[in-house]
Amino acid sequence: MKNLKTHAFGYLCTFLLAGIVFSSCSKTEKKALAVAVRDTTITVKNSFTELFVDSTELTRFLKSSKNDSISSQIQSFYNHRNYQFAWFFHDGLADFATTFLGMQNDYIHYSGDSSLYNPGLVSRVDSLKQLKSVNPKDKSVVNTELLLTEQFFKYSSRAYAGDHRINTQELDWYIPRKKINTEGFLDSLLKNKGKNLSAYEPVNRQYNLMKEKLLSYYQINKDEEWPALTAADKKYKKGNSYENIPEIKRRLFVFGDLATADSSAVLDTALVSAVKHFQMRFGLKQDGQLGTSFFREINVPIQERIQQILINMERIRWVPAQPATDYLLVNIPEYKLHVYEEGKLLFDMNVVVGSEAHSTVIFSGTLNQIVFSPYWNIPPGILKKEILPGIKKNSNYLAKHNMEWNGSSVRQKPGPKNSLGLVKFLFPNSYNIYLHDTPSKNLFGESSRAFSHGCIRLSEPKKLAEFLLRKDSTWTDEKITTAMNLGKEKYVRLRGKAEIPVFIGYFTTWVDQYGNLNFRNDIYGHDKKMAERLFSKNDLL
């Protein structure tokens, strides 16, 4: 490319898990696309148009194609139609041909990806707009018909599935890309004559919400000067006037945090509220103070924010549309777990995720076990680096930490001081990552919460247990509390529909359900890696 506070995730949380599978580190082999059988039941008498592509012309066109996947899609598309024209009627070029090229131009404009632009095709379409009668044997007409179909499949693959030259696993993203039915999308476009696109467009709703914000940031970047703001020498006090307050108010108004334009230099109630709103959008402590973190975020160049939005829009292209199921979503940079019931946000809670040195893996799975009063089986890496050196220094180390040898490994006994707390939630995976309670409750008060060894600590684990067991009337509040404080491990297997998909995601910008554009820090450097791939390519196709 040439160039989601509570409920924060909103629409973004609803995008996932329709296509969840257990993923692994191994790459899957690409399978050749199956070509549909030609539907010969379609004839001139029952077809949408009396225009049909000559089979020899289609064969000739496909032989010249450099993309086997797209060639297969084109062949299947026309086989399903028994070679009916798609973009022309007897009386001229279909209006939705222009609609499609407008969609493509829109994508090129907001994405900055000009590699899709095909000036020759645009010229052909422009020259054929004036046709009043279409000859299906006219080579110019046939070639334009086939080129439009080819271009549509290229566009759909790029705009809705993302850049396929990006290896997501190299970016530590172990969730299979969504698959889009480009033929079905084109059929819908034709059937609806290019209208009501949002009803059948194969993209998560979050994508278009972010696109609107992206366009507004392009305008801000064009219209506004953005010099660095410097904090005052003294601590800001409400009611006082400061030289840089007018510029702070201007920026917060442009961003939508301040409701009314105000050029005064007074730090008033409206400004304090606007600062709190800004802090909410950036995951900062909402104290209304014009402190270091506030100036750090507001001074980030708009061009960098534009790139951040584009990076996350690319990630959203990889995920399916929103499901109407129960599921759990952790957004790592947001430090939040979002709990969904039948596709609607029920509640969320703060979490602690892996530190930069022990980053939490981006993957998906299915939660099927609750373990009350768990042991903590010390992972080999922690045993080697922390526990064994501790034992060497202090022979009473294990007893002091309520630990014991378990064969050749060490485990921590159940109890309130157990590092996993009073309950853990398992979704089998090759990364040994799970959700769990913690005795270190103070960490949830921090605005940045990347402290763990990779697993995800929950601020309200009992609430999650209640949600997962809510349909089993035998699991009362009292019974859950008793199980959490049992002092010995108790496994509860979730079966059938009680199992629930879990998604561990990584999004540093999104639009929440209130229409606010949120930003978070790139805590693992994944955005940086994406930028190196996205913004250094001249030819993405």
The angle subtended at Cα 20 by Cα 320 and Cα 372, nearest 5°, is 135
Q: How many CA atoms lie less than 13 Å away from 140 in the CB half-sphere? A: 13
What is the rounded CA–CA span in Å between residue 346 and residue 470?
A: 13
Q: How many CA atoms lie less than 13 Å away from 411 in the CB half-sphere? A: 11
What is the rounded CA–CA span in Å between residue 162 and residue 315?
A: 8
SS3 482: helix
Considering the candidates 13, 277, 401, 455, report the single residue annotated as catalytic: 455
Determine contact, residues 369/465, Cβ cutoff 8 Å.
no
What is the rounded CA–CA span in Å between residue 149 and residue 146?
A: 5
* Residue 436 annotated among the catalytic residues of the structure: yes
* Residue 455 annotated among the catalytic residues of the structure: yes
What is the DSSP code string of 265-327?
-B--HHHHHHHHHHHHHTT---S----HHHHHHHTS-HHHHHHHHHHHHHHHHTS-PPPSS-E
Considering the candidates 277, 338, 401, 436, report the single residue annotated as catalytic: 436
How many other C-beta atoms are found inside a 10 Å radius of the C-beta of residue 486?
Answer: 14
Question: What are 533's two structure tokens?
Answer: 């791939």
Q: Quick one: which of 192, 92, 194 has its CA closest to 152?
A: 194
Contacts 24+ apart (CB under 8 A), 53-61: 53/78, 53/83, 53/84, 53/85, 53/136, 53/142, 53/145, 53/146, 54/83, 54/136, 54/137, 54/142, 55/83, 57/139, 57/142, 57/146, 58/83, 58/146, 61/143, 61/146
**What are the catalytic residues?**
436, 455
